[in-house]
Amino acid sequence: MKLLLINGPNLQLLGTREPGIYGSVTLADIENEVSALGSTLDCSVVARQSNCEGELVTWIGNARQENFDGIIINAGAYTHTSVAIRDAISGVSLPAVEVHLSNVASREEFRHHSYLAPVCAGVIAGFGKDSYLLALRALVSRINAQKQ
C-alpha cells in the first residue's frame, strides 16, 4: 500500500508557529512518525508540503497515476476556502482523510466549515500530531476493508 501525505500552507512553520495552538512538534517530526507507523502497517508514505493551492490540486489529481491508494491531507486554511481542492479529491476517487492538529470546531467560526469534509472518508481533528497517526490507521483499515 502506498499513501500520499499532503500538508498545505504554513504547516512548514510547525515547531515555531503559534505553539499554544499547534504545539512544538515540527513537520519533519510528523512526517517521520507517520512514515514509521506506516512501515509497521505495511504501507509506504510519501510526504509533501506546499503553500500553493494549485500544487496541492495537481498532486491530488495525479495521485492515481502515481499509484497511491489513498490520501491524508491537512490543507490548512485552504480547508475553509478551496473548492478546487475539494473537486480534486472527489475527482480522483481515492479515499482521503482530512486532518487537523487543532480542534477547528472549537476555534473561530470561519474554521468551522470545511469544503473538503463532504468528499473525504472522514475527518480527524484536535489531537496534535496524533491526528495524523489516527488518520493513517483509519485510512489503512478502510483501504484493507475495501480490498476484501
From the list 37-45, 51-59, 69-77, 116-124, the region that binds ligand DQA by CB under 6 A is 69-77
Choosing from 43, 59, 73, 74, the residue that interacts with ligand DQA (CB under 6 A) is 74
Q: Is residue 115 within 8 Å of residue 86, measured between CB atoms?
A: yes
Complete DSSP assignment for 22-79: H-S--HHHHHHHHHHHHHHTT-EEEEEE-S-HHHHHHHHHTTTTTT-SEEEEE-GGGG
Site for ligand DQA in 101-130 (CB under 6 A): 101-102, 104, 111
Per CB under 6 A, does 81 bind ligand DQA? no
- Concerning whether 100 is annotated as a catalytic residue, the answer is yes
3-state secondary structure of 125: strand
Distance CA 135, CA 116 (A): 15
C-alpha cell at 86: 475539494
3-state secondary structure of 82: coil
From the list 32-40, 45-53, 70-78, 86-94, the region that binds ligand DQA by CB under 6 A is 70-78
In angstroms, give the least distance from the CB of 79 to ligand DQA: 6
Site for ligand DQA in 20-39 (CB under 6 A): none
By CB under 6 A, how many residues form the interface with ligand DQA?
10
Point out which residues bind ligand DQA (CB under 6 A): 10, 74, 76-77, 79, 100-102, 104, 111
**Would you please indicate which residues are annotated as catalytic (active-site) residues?**
22, 100
